[in-house]
Amino acid sequence: MTYLVTGGAGFIGSHVVRDLVREGEQVVVYDWFPERSALTRLLSEEEINSSVKIIHGDVTNFSQLTRTLKENNVEKVIHMAAIMLLEFNANPLLGVRVNCEGTASVFEAARFLGLRKVVWASSGSVYGPPEKYPEEYIPNDAAHYPQNIYGAAKSFDEFVAGYYSDRYGMDITALRFVMVYGAGQARGRTAAIIRELVCHPALGKPGKVPAASDNILGWTYVDDAARATVLASKASKTSTRAFSVRGEIHTVQEIADYVKELVPDADITLLPLEKSASHTIMTCKYDTSMIEEELGFHPQWTMKQGIRETMNTVRREHGLAPLPS
């Protein structure tokens, strides 16, 4: 089977491509920044040459997108391309174009060509602050109260997906990711947090973390995010259209404490939370029972396993020995 993965050269997207290739699928990577570096970190040249086709593509270009889908006999689409929060804030016009128009373009192209399945990346940012919800764990179908324009765009996309599902009977599944981390991140707020909180200490560098110590986050290791995506792409049509996905729940301080267990002399400073659209206080206490019941997804990576693996990967790529067991 042939998949098209938009944003397939990016952080989560490249891990999705890896998993698809390892399962014997053919993959068309459709990316505005079609660099091979993320893919070559995860796949051999032989795997890429035999199973991956890389195309410089724009999700807002409907003609190019449909032509690519048709010429490559694509059967399923995984839509990971997006403008991240910090970039969105800096250029809202571009953010709306890519995240809203681009996502609608993917749905319309799939409808036009009669494709079997679309899985796409939404975000926990569709939800609001903890005080908006009476439950300790926010239900999967809870109301959206986005605190920034990025979250509002993702909420709009979920509405559009529902329209295509209802009107045309399409099988479209959204995954609301939160705090997906790992080695190799380059973009977004999470990348900045992980770089300063995990990667710099792994290399003996000081870290100044742009996140408050009591910020509660759902730490999802990237391999789990990729596995959830592939699992959703292979599942029969589910009654739930958007699933919250998260790993273990920990404060930023708890992560810093664990990093210091691994590197006792780590120099980590947690910066005060800035009151801006880029640094809204969010909870990641999302109820994930729906994805567990309907897709059978359970995270396989604990926080400690994921943080250690991230640090060791960074160390290995810099010629350093792994951390002591």
Positions annotated as catalytic residues are: 150
DSSP state of 196: I
What the block records as the tokens of 293 is 């019941």
Cα of 216 vs its chain's centroid, Å: 18
Q: How far is CA 11 from the centre of its chain?
A: 8
Per the document, the length of the chain is 325
β strands within 172-274, DSSP E: 172-177, 180-181, 207-209, 216-221, 242-245, 248-251, 268-270
Nearest to 307 by CA among 259, 268, 250, 251: 259
- For the chain, the straight-line distance linking the first and the last C-alpha, in angstroms and rounded, comes to 41
Question: Which of 209, 225, 317 is closest to 266 using CA atoms?
Answer: 209
How are beta strands 52-56 and 26-31 bridged, if at all? parallel
Distances (CA, A) of 211 to 46, 196, 203, 240, 251: 40, 10, 20, 32, 10
